[in-house]
Structure 1
Amino acid sequence: MSDHDKLPPDLDEEADEADLAPIRPPTVQWLKRLAELKAFLAVHGRYPKRRGIERGEVSLYDWLTAQRHAFLAHKLTWNQAVAMDVLGDWITTDQEIFSDDHWQQRLADLLAFRKRFGRLPNRRHFQSDEEDALGIWMETQVSARNRGSMPAWRVEAMNAAFPGWAAPQATG
């Protein structure tokens, strides 16, 4: 066997047969649930909710949640993931969308505050409930950034709106 015929060192010749198994198409039952979800989206214009009131909604919510978890755990097959893509952004939950919308509104409130007063809120010497609330929100953003838990798009939005926003502030 020449060097060109050898497997790369990271490929074990005794790999599990499951790793080498052919890609299986989704089951008929799985495709039926996907069709039900597509129909729900077409009729209601939204994804099912956990406490939904429409017929079959809670069951569809549970199925969609299972698909999201399988995808994030790398257990959804390639064929299933491709089939799910006809739904659009099926991975992002309603709660994540709400959270992002709320965050963007708070950023807009902070921009409006700076435009009105020519400064960022001062949490230690606030002059209104609005300034106190925005100061707390700003501190929360700095803390999230410093912990590394703030999504990159939020860091970029804050950097664009308020250069140096996360720099330590002088006390006094």
Structure 2
Amino acid sequence: MMFTAGLTAREIADRCKQNIATVHLHLKNREKYDPDFFAKHTAALEARGPYRITTKWRRRVKEAQDFYAMHGRLPRSTSKPAERSLAEWVAEQRRLFERNELPQAKIVLLEPLPNWNVSARAREREMQWKKKLALFIAFVDAEQRMPRYRSYATEEEHALGVWLHNQHQRRTENRLELWKLEALNEANPGWCSRG
């Protein structure tokens, strides 16, 4: 029944805790009694789609969760081969998620893995933005004015002025992420001079 429902021999072996050779032998014998046995399996397997949840996929999720529990972080692609392989698998899930090609069932199973759907590069950019926000807040508190990018007094002010100008540009073009807009509004409600 499992085979004609679309499960692979490997999935059946894993689910039944049997040797895959034993499963193959059983399937071969079953074909003698039902000539359409393999055709039914092929049709059911195709109906599951290319992104079905396989035993191997479930095993990788478990490995990623165990890795996170042990190390307190996601696997890195710059580490040992086993960790690199796991990092590449997580990155592939992230790419599928970003392209809206990851089924909801897989997304639900990945949810216990913190930040699986955020790339390391995006996290780094977010941290850099938050650092700039903190520098902006400190500058306004110390100088009692907004940083300028044209007639600036120091290079630090110039850098903050350019950063603030870029936030203005993104806001007017509706490209400033909502959480950033809210953070800027909370930090300094008068940061945007134009409506």
Q: Based on CA coordinates, which of the two structures has the bigger radius of gyration?
A: 2
2:174 counterpart letter in structure 1: G
1:40 corresponds to which of 63, 67, 85: 67
Aligned residues: 148
Checking the alignment, whether the CA contact within 8 Å between 2:146 and 2:191 is kept in structure 1 is no
TM-score of the two chains, using structure 1 as the length reference: 0.76
CA distance in 1 between counterparts of 2:135 and 2:126 reads 14
Please, what TM-score do these two structures have when normalized by structure 2? 0.68
CA distance in 1, matches of 2:87, 2:96: 14
AA of the residue aligned to 2:171: R
Alignment-mate amino acid for residue 136 of structure 2: L
In structure 2, the residue matched to 1:156 is 182
Counterpart amino acid of residue 33 in structure 1:
R
Aligned match of 2:128 in 79, 85, 102?
Answer: 102
Q: Give yes or no for contact 2:148–2:162 (8 Å, CA) kept in 1.
A: no
Instruction: List 4+ stretches of structure 1 deviating above 4 A.
Output: 21-25
Shift of 1:159: 1.8
Is 1:80 paired with 2:106?
A: yes
Q: Which of 154, 157, 165 is the equivalent residue of 1:131? A: 157
By how many angstroms is 1:25 displaced?
6.4
- 1:165 CA drift (Å): 2.3
- Alpha-carbon distance in structure 1 between the residues aligned to 2:120 and 2:48: 35
Match of 1:65 in 2: 91
| C-alpha distance in structure 2 between counterparts of 1:75 and 1:114, whole Å | 44
Percentage of pairs with the same residue: 32
1:106, distance to aligned residue in structure 2 (A): 0.8
Quote the Cα distance in structure 1 between the aligned partners of 2:81 and 2:67.
10
Q: Is 2:116 the counterpart of 1:116?
A: no
Query: What is the Cα deviation at residue 61 of structure 1?
Result: 1.6
Aligned-pair Cα RMSD in Å: 2.3
Could you tell which deviates more after superposition, 157-166 or 101-110?
Answer: 157-166
Deviation at 1:62, TM superposition (A): 1.5
More helix by share: 2
**Cα distance per residue 1:45-95 (max 9 Å; x no partner):** 111223x21341221121111111222333222221111112133211222
- CA distance in structure 2 between the partners assigned to 1:41 and 1:70 by the alignment: 21
